[in-house]
Amino acid sequence: MKVLDGEYPTLKIAVIERGSKAKADFQPVEIGKSIVFKMKDLDDYRTKNWDNRIYDTLTLIAAVEFCDKTCRRPAWGWMRRFEVSLPVFELIRWEDPHSVTALVSALKLLTGDEWVFSFTQRKGGPDDDVGRQSRLEFGDGSRVVMPFSDGLDSRAVSALLSAGGRSDRLIRVRVGSKKDDRPRRGDRKLPFLNIPFKVKPGQDGFHESSARTRGFKFTLMSAIAAYLLGTHDVVMPESGQGALGPSLVHTSHGYEDYRNHPRFLAKMERFFAALFGYQVTYRLPRLWRTKGETLRDFAALGGDETEWLDTRSCWQQNRNSSVNGKWRHCGICAACMLRRLSFHAAEVAEPADNYIWENLAAPDFRSGVANGFNKVTGAMEQYAIAGALHLDHLADLRSSPTHRKRISRHAWQLSEELDISHQDAEGELFGLLERHELEWKAFMKDLGPNSFVAQWLT
C-alpha cells in the first residue's frame, strides 16, 4: 500500500466466504484463513439466546482488528481510512441506519480513523460442526460480565467483585492473553470465556502496534456474553488514571486514548442496543479511584501475593523485555510507571527484578538497567521520557489555572454520560486528580532529586 505524503493511508478489505472473490480494489480477507474461528471456544457461546447476529458480530470484530493491525499509521499524522465489506446473515439488521451510524461513531472516537462499512448477504449457513453445549446458563440476570486480562486492574477488580464467596456470579471474558489458563478459587475453576477466533496477517504481515481496536473487541465481546446470559451488567475494571488519564493529557505523538472512557462505552451501548435491541450497561466501579487505591483494596483481601505480583502491565513486546532469557516488565513505559507508582502508593512491596529498569533512582538512564540487559536504545529512553511526562502532566492538571476550563469541560462530558450533575462529576474528577498528584509527588520524593526520572521533569 503506497501512500503519498499528506494523504491518509487507505485500506479496503472484503471479508469473504471460502470460495468467494473480493470485489475489485478490495483486499480479500477469507473466513477460515485470515479469520479463523476456534470451534471449541465458540461452543461456549452457543446458548438458548444464540442467533446469527452473534456470528456476524464476531466476524466484524475480527475484520476491524485486521484493518487496525495491517494499516500503518502515517509518520506525519494519525488518521487512516478503512472501507470494509462484510458478509452477514442478518442483512436487514446490519443495514439499518441506526446500527451503522452507531458503529461508525464508536469506532471513530476510539481509533481516530474514518470507517465506511457495506454489507452483503452471506451465502453459506452457520457452521454445522459447532456444538450446542455451553457453560453459560441463559436467563440469570444476577450474573456480571467482565473483560479479563493479565493486568493488575483485571485481577484486582475480579477479586473485589468475587469477595464474599460470589465468584461464581462473575463471568470473565479473557482478552489479550496468550495463556489458556483458567484461574481457580480453591478447588473450582472460575467461570471463564475465551475469544473464539484469531486473526492472521496477510502476506505482508501486520504493521501497526497502536492497537486501539482492542477496546472495541473487549467491550463488544463482553456485551455479547451479557446478551447470551440474559444479564445487562458489564464491569470494566480500569481505574481512574487509566480510564481518564489518556484522554486528559494531550500527547505529541498521537490521538487521545478513549479505550476505557465513559464516552466510548456509552457509544458502544448505543451500537449494541441498535443492533440487538438489547441494553447492556458498562460500569466502571473504580473510575474515581487511583490504581494505587485499587491495589490497596485488593491486597487487603489477603490471599496469595502472587495474584498481584504476577500481573502484567508492560506495553513492550516480549523480544525487547527479557533479561538472561527471563521476561520482565520494562519498568519505564507509561503503563509500567503507573504500575510502580501504584505499588508505592498502596505500600505493597514488589521485587526490583520484576523490571528491566530495576533502579529508577539511578542518576542516569543506562545505569538503572539490570545486569545482563544489552538492548538499551535511544528510542527506549524517549519512550521512558514520554511515560514519565504523562504521569507528571496528569499530576499538574488539578492545580494549573490554564487547564481549569478544559477539566471542567471534561467533567461536563462525563456528567452527560454518567447521568450525574456537572458539579458532582467535577468534584469526583478533581478529587481523583488530587490523589494522583499526592501519590506522584510522594513517589518522586522517594526517588530523589538526582534520579534520572526527576532530571527529565525539571
- Output the pLDDT for position 317: 65
Tens digits of residue pLDDT in 54-74:
999 999 999 999 999 999 998
Find the DSSP H helices in 213-361.
Answer: 214-229, 240-248, 262-276, 291-300, 306-309, 334-346
Residue 49 confidence (pLDDT) above 90 = no
- Output the pLDDT for position 152: 93
SS3 of the chain: helix, strand, coil, percent, to 5: 45, 15, 40
Q: How far is CA 105 from the centre of its chain?
A: 18
d(CA 277, CA 307): 38
% the chain with pLDDT above 90 = 64
Residue 183 confidence (pLDDT) above 80 = no
For all residues of the chain together, what is the average pLDDT? Answer: 88
Is residue 241 within 8 Å of 291, Cβ to Cβ?
yes
| Among the listed residues 287, 297, 279, 286, the one whose alpha carbon sits nearest the alpha carbon of residue 263 | 287
Buried b (16+ CB within 10 A) or exposed e, 234-270: bbbbbbbbbbbbbbbbeeeeebebbbbbbbbbbbbbb
pTM of the predicted model as reported, rounded to 2 decimal places: 0.91
- Output the pLDDT for position 176: 59
- Output the pLDDT for position 23: 87
d(CA 246, CA 439): 18
- Output the pLDDT for position 318: 62
Buried b (16+ CB within 10 A) or exposed e, 322-331: ebeeeebbbb
Burial of 232 (0-12, 13-18, 19+ CB in 10 A): middle
% the chain with pLDDT above 70 = 89
d(CA 190, CA 45): 16
Residue scoring higher pLDDT (26 or 8): 26
| Among the listed residues 385, 388, 369, the one whose alpha carbon sits nearest the alpha carbon of residue 320 | 369
- Read off the C-alpha cell for 140: 440469570
Is residue 392 within 8 Å of 334, Cβ to Cβ?
no
Tens digits of residue pLDDT in 102-141:
999 999 999 999 999 999 999 875 554 444 555 555 566 6
Tens digits of residue pLDDT in 209-232:
888 999 999 999 999 999 998 999
Residue 180 confidence (pLDDT) above 50 = no
- The residue assigned the cell 510507571 is 337
Average pLDDT of span 425-434: 97
CB atoms within 10 A of CB 288: 18
- Output the pLDDT for position 170: 87
| Among the listed residues 368, 358, 344, 343, the one whose alpha carbon sits nearest the alpha carbon of residue 455 | 368
Which band of pLDDT confidence, cut at 50, 70 and 90, is reported for residue 187? very low
The structural domains of the chain, with segments of one domain joined by +, span 313-457
- Output the pLDDT for position 310: 83
- The residue assigned the cell 443492533 is 275
CB atoms within 10 A of CB 100: 19
Phi, psi for 336 (deg, rounded to 5): -70, -40
Q: Which amino acid is at 425?
A: A
Within 13 Å of residue 63, how many CA atoms lie on the same side as its CB?
31
| Among the listed residues 287, 256, 249, 275, the one whose alpha carbon sits nearest the alpha carbon of residue 157 | 287
d(CA 430, CA 420): 15
Tens digits of residue pLDDT in 81-93:
999 999 999 999 9
